[in-house]
Homo-oligomer: A and B are copies of this chain.
Amino acid sequence: MEVTRTNFKDSLSTVYSAIEEADFLAIDGEFSGISDGPNVSALTNGLDTPEERYMKLKKHSMDFLLFQFGLCTFTYDQAESKYVIKTFNFYIFPKPFNRTSPDTKFICQSSSIDFLASQGFDFNKVFRHGIPYLNQEEEVQLREQYEERRSQSNGSGNPSYISPNPNKGPGSVPEEHREYIGRVVFQRKLIYQTLNSKYTGVLCDDIMGFQKERYIQISKVDDEERKRRERQKQEREQEELNDAVGFSRVIHAISKSGKLVVGHNMLLDVMHTIHQFYCVLPEYLLCFLRLLDTKLMATTQPFKELINITSLAELQKQLKESPFKSPKVVTAEGFPSYDTAQEQLHEAGYDAFITGLCFISMANYLGTFLTPPRAHIPSQSKLIQPFSQFILILTPTPIPPLCPAMNTSRYAESYRIQTYAEYVQGRQQVRESQGHSTQSWDEDGWVKPHYTSPSTVGAGPTGYSYGHNRPSLGKRCVSPIQEEQPTEERLRDHTRRMEWLHALSHTPRHGQQEDQDRR
Q: Which residues of A contact B (CB under 8 A)?
A: 32-33, 36, 39, 65, 93-96, 103-111, 113-114, 116-118, 122-124, 126-128, 161, 167-168, 173-177, 180-181, 184-185, 213, 408, 411-414, 426, 430
Known A39-B167, A173-B411, A180-B408; judge A103-B93 contact (CB<8 A): no
* Contacting pair B109 A105 (CB below 8 A): yes
Known A103-B110, A108-B32, A127-B117; judge A412-B175 contact (CB<8 A): no
Having A95-B114, A105-B110, one finds 9 other A-B pairs with CB under 8 Å, namely A93-B113, A103-B111, A105-B109, A106-B107, A117-B124, A117-B128, A118-B128, A124-B124, A176-B430
* Contacting pair B414 A180 (CB below 8 A): yes
6 tightest A-B CB contacts, nearest first:
A123-B123, A117-B128, A104-B110, A117-B127, A103-B111, A181-B411
Q: How far is the CA of A168 from the CA of B113 in the complex (A)?
A: 20
Q: How far is the CA of A116 from the CA of B124 in the complex (A)?
A: 11
Q: How far is the CA of A168 from the CA of B111 in the complex (A)?
A: 15
Q: How far is the CA of A127 from the CA of B109 in the complex (A)?
A: 11
In-complex Cβ contact of A184 among B96, B184, B411 (8 A): B411
Min CB–CB distance A183 → chain B (angstroms):
9
* Contacting pair B106 A168 (CB below 8 A): no
Q: Which B residues touch A126, using CB under 8 A? A: 123
* Contacting pair B175 A430 (CB below 8 A): yes
Q: How far is the CA of A95 from the CA of B114 in the complex (A)?
A: 6
Q: How far is the CA of A234 from the CA of B175 in the complex (A)?
A: 66
Q: Which B residues touch A117, using CB under 8 A? A: 124, 127-128
Q: Which B residues touch A116, using CB under 8 A? A: 127
Q: How far is the CA of A185 from the CA of B411 in the complex (A)?
A: 8
Q: Which B residues touch A413, using CB under 8 A? A: 213
Min CB–CB distance A152 → chain B (angstroms):
14
Min CB–CB distance A450 → chain B (angstroms):
23
Min CB–CB distance A126 → chain B (angstroms):
8
Residue of B nearest to A408 (CB): B177
Q: Which B residues touch A104, using CB under 8 A? A: 109-110
Q: Which B residues touch A32, using CB under 8 A? A: 108
5 contacts between A and B (CB under 8 A): A123-B124, A161-B411, A174-B430, A180-B408, A181-B412
Q: Which B residues touch A185, using CB under 8 A? A: 411
In-complex Cβ contact of A111 among B96, B114, B122, B213 (8 A): B96
Min CB–CB distance A362 → chain B (angstroms):
28
Q: Which B residues touch A122, using CB under 8 A? A: 124
Q: How far is the CA of A94 from the CA of B109 in the complex (A)?
A: 10
Q: How far is the CA of A117 from the CA of B106 in the complex (A)?
A: 16
Q: Which B residues touch A173, using CB under 8 A? A: 411
Q: How far is the CA of A124 from the CA of B119 in the complex (A)?
A: 12
Q: How far is the CA of A167 from the CA of B444 in the complex (A)?
A: 12
Residue of B nearest to A161 (CB): B411
Q: How far is the CA of A458 from the CA of B372 in the complex (A)?
A: 100
Q: Which B residues touch A408, using CB under 8 A? A: 177, 180
In-complex Cβ contact of A127 among B93, B105, B123, B177 (8 A): B123
* Contacting pair A107 B107 (CB below 8 A): yes
Min CB–CB distance A246 → chain B (angstroms):
13
Known A108-B108, A175-B430; judge A412-B180 contact (CB<8 A): yes
* Contacting pair A103 B109 (CB below 8 A): yes
Q: Which B residues touch A110, using CB under 8 A? A: 93-96, 103-106
Q: Which B residues touch A175, using CB under 8 A? A: 430
Known A122-B124, A123-B123, A408-B177; judge A106-B108 contact (CB<8 A): yes
Q: How far is the CA of A64 from the CA of B412 in the complex (A)?
A: 38
Q: Which B residues touch A95, using CB under 8 A? A: 110, 114
Q: Which B residues touch A128, using CB under 8 A? A: 117-118
Q: Which B residues touch A118, using CB under 8 A? A: 128
Q: How far is the CA of A110 from the CA of B96 in the complex (A)?
A: 7
Q: Which B residues touch A411, using CB under 8 A? A: 161, 173, 177, 181, 184-185
Q: Which B residues touch A103, using CB under 8 A? A: 39, 109-111
Q: How far is the CA of A122 from the CA of B126 in the complex (A)?
A: 12
Q: How far is the CA of A175 from the CA of B175 in the complex (A)?
A: 55
Residue of B nearest to A167 (CB): B39
Q: Which B residues touch A96, using CB under 8 A? A: 110-111, 114
